[in-house]
Amino acid sequence: MAIIYQEKERIFTLETLHTTYQMKADSRGELLHLYYGKKASGNLDYLLPFFDRSFSGNPGDAGNDRTYSLDVLTLEYPTLGVGDYRSAALDIENSDGTECVDLRYYSHEIKKGKYALRGLPAVFADEEEAQTLSVLLKDSVNGVQVELLYGVLESEDIITRAAVISNEGTDAVTIQKAASACLDFLHGEYDLISFYGRHAMERNVQRAPIRHGAFSIGSRRGASSHQYNPGVILAGKNTTEEQGSCYGLLFVYSGNFSCEAEKDQFDQTRVLMGLQSDYFHYPLNPGESFTVPETILCFSDQGLGALSRRYHDCIRNHICRGKYAHGERPLLLNSWEAAYFDFTGETIVNLASEAKELGVDMVVMDDGWFGKRDNDDSGLGDWQVNKQKLGMSLKELVGKVNDLGVRFGIWMEPEMVSEDSDLYRAHPDWALRFPGRTPVRGRNQLVLDFSREDVREAVFTQVCQVLDSGNIEYLKWDMNRSLADFASAKGVPGKVAYDYVLGLYDFLEKLTARYPDLLIEGCSGGGGRFDAGMLYYTPQIWCSDNTDAADRVFIQYGTSFFYPACTVGAHVSAVPNHQTGREVSLKTRGIVAMAGTFGYELNPALLSETEKEEVREQVRTFRKVEGLVRNGDYYRLSDPYEEAFAAWAFVSKEKDRALLSVVMMKKHGNAPVSYVRMKGLLPEAEYENTLDSRVYSGSALMEAGIPLPLEMGEYRGYQVEFWRRQT
């Protein structure tokens, strides 16, 4: 039983394999948070602090009890206006302009299976795999009620949280701020690990102590953004990859978000994950309800590595959907860095024939095939093939590619419009803009108002016409600017940021329903919308526009804390690298791209015969290890920020097979030997390597490690597989 309710004490306990989460509805009906962490039995309400604290007020209905203050208690869903001075999960503006909502326990329900959210992506699970707790809280004055939803995936050590806010009163209210998860800690010193970045350098790792005062990250860009990923880890001071406690909070949402961490006056820590309150002012009329997107919580007492592996399993098994969630992905060659906007149909056919020669499955025609689109100043919105440029119809092109035995994929950016396009000339009001102002441009393009159904429908028709015009098996769904003008020609400005994302989800839901066999790869200037929300519709996302293997080591390292390799779009590109000018060997580029979906992003015609042979060999290698990379457990074996080399491994669930990959990041003269220690093997088993058939015990590989070849120069890669010997 994953969810236990003790009626007398009104205590709710959520149990997973290794963790306990507990809360209590007290005599006032306040839902107090008691505990989250490693399995702990019994009632933990004895932990709560009841002291008379000056300047921490007492709720009016607590009588003369000066020891009861919401300012010091740990709360499950704190609200603004009730005497808690920390940051709140919910802020409601009432019709009279006051900001107060006072939520009390009303009822609850425990159900089999995992709840779903209307219009939003969420973890899914079978009836046997999960249980749901729904706790209904009500404000008796303004009629606002909140259903707190908890999904418990017992064997996965996952707890999800979401909230549905309803107006059951008689007057309209406005939601000013809404989070789905709040974690209050009574004591403890924590670091916050967050993932910051920029276009072409996403998800750098930052670890900083949570001190007094609030620390926040978030996005106001309309997408989850390159700048901060909507996932954070709260780690104990001494927590490492393999040891110590840590908590993950991963927001299943692709738009504006906010995550706050705060240490208060009594050294208690609060972490909130939810919607960004800037550009958010969501009116709720009587009878209406609003869903706050889900946060996936996970706790590990075995360090960050175990936490990541739990998220990887959760995303692979309970977020990614469709045929490709567990299916082998096509190994593709993308035209972007091969040709940019400068191609014809023949160029694509040539790429396909080169791809065939190299053993590649699919060619993807990237940006530039439609409307008037020879650079990024025009054409977005006109999703009709430019026959003049291609010299053939799309149907003919796909046919020619398929005739070579190569599959075909295409690029689109459906959310965008160029001012120089027929679509914009016909419907200027379809772009987001503040009334009376010139909209902010990004990459010289405007954003279509996806909060509007009529706009989405018109674009949907165009997208379907493209996809129906031939045997198109893959779509790269791009989104190449940040939103800025959160206003719609129809509708309420304070709703646009959220409704836009729900519009996008609605579009993608319809698209995946209509084309169940289509593989969609998400993209936003690379990894500008790399989040669990998008992964519900697109099982892989182009990880970064930066294809330089040396930089990718860091980008993929940061990405690996939450997201499994099968979601990470990664390609081998040409050197000197187009983003950094760096020259890294083909071998290293291959090794780094094999920690993702693997593919190519170059013109094979420019490779020498020796390089082509090496590519063929890489393709053969990847086919052998593909299942291991996609389904295996991922281990970070070094911290590339601190150590001379980057190393990671994939280990099969059965622990009978492992792939070790290393890239030397720094090298000095007459350097000491570097040793890398494996993880995740069976200590007592024997493993044979695939390079020279040497046999080691699992314990030796894990405890003593193996020496890296001394001749490994800077950015040189090393890859070896280990197979368990059958005894």
Q: Which are the catalytic amino acids?
A: 531, 611
Residues 347-366 within binding reach of ligand GLA (CB under 6 A): 366
DSSP assignment of 657-713, as one string? EEEEEEEE----TTPPPPEE---SS-TTSEEEETTT--EEEHHIIIII-EEPPTT--
Instruction: Verify binding: residue 246, ligand GLA, rule CB under 6 A.
Output: no
Question: Of the candidates 115, 150, 336, 500, which one interacts with ligand GLA according to CB under 6 A?
Answer: 336
Q: Are residues 300 and 128 in contact, defined by beta-carbon separation less than 8 angstroms?
A: no
Tokens, residue 372? 């008037």
551 binds ligand GLA (CB under 6 A): no
Lookup: tokens for 289: 């309800």
Tokens of 612: 């082509």
Interface with ligand GLA, residue 379, by CB under 6 A:
no
Give residue for tokens 């187009």.
Answer: 578
Q: How far is the CB of 453 from ligand GLA (least distance, A)?
A: 27
Please report the DSSP string for 559-579 in residue order.
HTTTS-GGGEE--EE-SS-TT
Residue whose CB is less far from ligand GLA, 2 or 390: 390
CB 449 within 8 A of CB 489: yes
**Where do the DSSP E strands lie in 51-172?**
90-93, 104-112, 131-138, 144-153, 158-167
Q: Using CB under 6 A, which of 19, 224, 308, 480 touches ligand GLA?
A: 480
Kindly state whether residue 525 participates in binding ligand GLA, applying the rule CB under 6 A.
Answer: yes
Sign of CA dihedral 678, 530, 189, 12: negative
Contact in structure between 20 and 159 (CB atoms under 8 Å): no
Q: Does 545 bind ligand GLA (CB under 6 A)?
A: yes
330 binds ligand GLA (CB under 6 A): no
**Three-state secondary-structure class, residue 148:** strand
Between β-strands 407-412 and 472-477, what pairing exists: parallel, antiparallel or unpaired?
parallel
Binding mask 459-478 for ligand GLA (x = CB under 6 A): -------------------x
Shortest Å, Cβ 478 to ligand GLA = 5
What is the nearest approach in angstroms of ligand GLA to the Cβ of residue 519?
16
Q: Does 382 bind ligand GLA (CB under 6 A)?
A: no
Least distance to ligand GLA, CB of residue 247, Å: 32
230: helix, coil or strand?
A: coil
Name the one range near ligand GLA by CB under 6 A: 253-261, 519-527, 573-581, 707-715.
519-527
Would you give the DSSP letter of residue 169?
A: S
A 10 A CB-CB count for 634 gives 21
Report the helix count and the strand count for the chain, using DSSP H and E.
13, 38
- How many of the chain's residues bind ligand GLA (CB under 6 A)? 12
Q: What is the largest CA-CA distance in the chain?
A: 86
Q: Rule CB under 6 A: choose which of 411, 450, 600, 622 binds ligand GLA.
A: 411
**Single residue of 385, 416, 523, 619 touching ligand GLA by CB under 6 A:** 523
Under DSSP, is residue 210 helix (H, G, I), strand (E, B) or coil? coil
- Residue 500: Cβ within 10 Å count: 26
Smallest distance from ligand GLA to CB 523, Å: 5
Q: Does 542 interact with ligand GLA (rule: CB under 6 A)?
A: yes
Q: Is the torsion defined by CA of 159, 220, 524, 648 positive or negative?
A: negative
Query: Of 137-145, 389-397, 518-526, 674-682, which segment contacts ligand GLA by CB under 6 A?
Result: 518-526
By the rule CB under 6 A, 260 interacts with ligand GLA: no
Residue 705, Ramachandran bin (φ over 0: left; ψ between -120 and 50: alpha; else beta): left
Q: How far is the CB of 336 from ligand GLA (least distance, A)?
A: 5
526 part of the interface to ligand GLA, by CB under 6 A? yes
The one segment of 167-175, 277-285, 383-391, 522-530 that binds ligand GLA by CB under 6 A: 522-530
281/443 with CB nearer ligand GLA: 443
Q: Give yes or no for residue 367 binding ligand GLA (CB under 6 A).
A: yes
Nearest CA among 269, 265, 274 for reference residue 234: 269
Return the residue nearest ligand GLA (CB atom): 367
The contact set with ligand GLA (CB under 6 A) reads 336, 366-367, 376, 411, 478, 480, 523, 525-526, 542, 545
